[in-house]
Amino acid sequence: MAVSLVSNEVSDLCIGKPALKSLPLSAAAVGDALLALRRGGEPHLAVLAADRAAPEKRAVVGRLCVADVLCYLCSDGNLASPSAALERPVSALLPKGACLVRRVEPQFSVSEALDLILDGAQSLVVPIGSVGRKKLAAAEFCWLTQEDFVRYFLNSIALFSPVPALSIDALGLVRSADALAIRHDEPGLSLLPLVRRALSDQTAVAVVTDDGRLLGEISPAALSACDETVAVAAGIATLTAGDLMAFIDYYGSPSESLVRAIKAGLKEKGLQEMLELMEDELSSFSNSSSSASSSSSDDESSGGRRLRKLRSRSFSIGRRSEEPEVCHPGSSLVAVMVQALAHRVSYLWVVDEDDYGLMGIVTFADILRVFREQLQQSSL
């Protein structure tokens, strides 16, 4: 029976998962987090601190990506002094209030872990003692996300028949996307609260026309994939949402007209330090084959040195993203699951089949609630 799935242990979902990348809360600055994200090859980074209940142990107190740093750099005061902003403690990046990362033990049931996800945890961390034959340190963890649970249920989808064949509209899974949509001509800084919400909800921001048709999206993943951290922050501060989407959609060959618009906007706003850093970054970008200067002035700040290290990385050239993933109200639940998992997203935009008008969004969180309800009914 389907109900037997939730009696399985969390460790079943952790098979083959690597240990997460991390940095310490006490000794790290924002710039350290950005460097670690760029060099680590992973989209997310765990922030570790001493466990209050057992100070000799470590606890995961946060989960960061490059989009978190971009939102921080674009907040009040930081645009004018980006180098100083990078010097501040990494705790400045963590959301205030309840931690969105929860720890579960390997022997927890899938049901217990799923309840934590549906109660608002962005992700779970699970202590791991071994991966295959390789023994790891006792304090290492792996991530568990909504995607892991959706994949877990998809592997046993036949047990839930006929529900997976029903449309997302019939199941009530299409919810409003108004809080995640922005018109193409609105200023980029208006994106910040929407990007923060998208980070929390593990979704994206829809960019729409005046009459509500979906033009594209700006996702935390796309922002995090941008090598040009300073240039993107400058673009958020100066461009419209539509122009920003076009700017981040290509890397290695940014539009000259958009670059000029960003520089003009920075000059108009008096953001001289941001302008200088952006020009340095784009100069390194266009001359990526040459080695970065190894010398630095004695009075250069460590924030400036971090930016120099970031600018010295090699850059890729090409198109960053595809069209946003969409479905229709009549799409079946199982089709939506397969499509989202295939494209490594935790949501699909729901659009009108005729005019591409944005009708709403369907998310992994809502899909998981359907399976939780089915399991509860099976246990009665």
Quick one: DSSP state of residue 293? P
Check pLDDT > 60 for residue 106: yes
- pLDDT tens-place string over residues 147-163: 999 999 999 999 999 99
Backbone phi and psi for residue 77, each to the nearest 5 degrees, phi listed first: 90, -35
Q: How far is 354 from 234, CA to CA, in rounded Å?
A: 37
Number of H helices, E strands in the chain: 14, 16
C-alpha pair distances (Å), 181 with each of 122, 185, 197: 21, 12, 11
Percent of the chain having pLDDT more than 90?
62
Contacts of residue 68, defined as CB under 8 A and 6 or more positions apart, other chains included, come to: 93, 199
Per-residue b/e over 180-210, b at no fewer than 16 CB within 10 Å?
bbbbbeeebbebbebbbebbebbbbbbbbee
State the pLDDT confidence band at 380, using cuts at 50, 70 and 90: low
Backbone phi and psi for residue 49, each to the nearest 5 degrees, phi listed first: -145, 165
Q: How far is 315 from 301, CA to CA, in rounded Å?
A: 24
Quick one: DSSP state of residue 89? B
- pLDDT tens-place string over residues 10-48: 999 998 898 999 888 887 899 999 989 988 778 899 998
C-alpha pair distances (Å), 263 with each of 84, 190, 234, 276, 327: 21, 19, 8, 9, 38
- Cβ pair 85, 78 in contact under 8 A: yes
State the pLDDT confidence band at 319, using cuts at 50, 70 and 90: very low
Check pLDDT > 70 for residue 288: no
CA 356, distance to chain mean position in Å, is 25
- pLDDT tens-place string over residues 179-233: 999 999 999 999 999 999 999 999 999 999 999 999 999 999 999 888 788 899 9
SS3 59: strand
Q: How far is 340 from 332, CA to CA, in rounded Å?
A: 12
Q: How far is 375 from 57, CA to CA, in rounded Å?
A: 36
Two structure tokens written together for 184: 């193409």
Two structure tokens written together for 229: 């951290």
Q: How far is 24 from 102, CA to CA, in rounded Å?
A: 17
Two structure tokens written together for 28: 């790290």
SS3 217: strand
Two structure tokens written together for 34: 């950005």
Whether the bond into 162 is cis, omega within 30 of 0 = yes
Q: How far is 302 from 291, CA to CA, in rounded Å?
A: 20
Structure-derived torsion over alpha carbons of residues 67, 310, 281, 215, reported in degrees to the nearest 10: -20
Instruction: Write the Ramachandran bin of 59: left for phi over 0, alpha for psi from -120 to 50, otherwise beta.
Output: beta
One-letter amino acid at 79 equals: L
Two structure tokens written together for 321: 């993203």
Percent of the chain having pLDDT more than 70?
82
Taking all residues of the chain, what is their mean pLDDT, rounded to a whole number? 85
For residues 63-70, give the mean pLDDT: 94
Number of Cβ atoms within 10 Å of the Cβ of 164: 22
Which residues sit opposite 350 in a β-bridge?
Answer: 327, 360
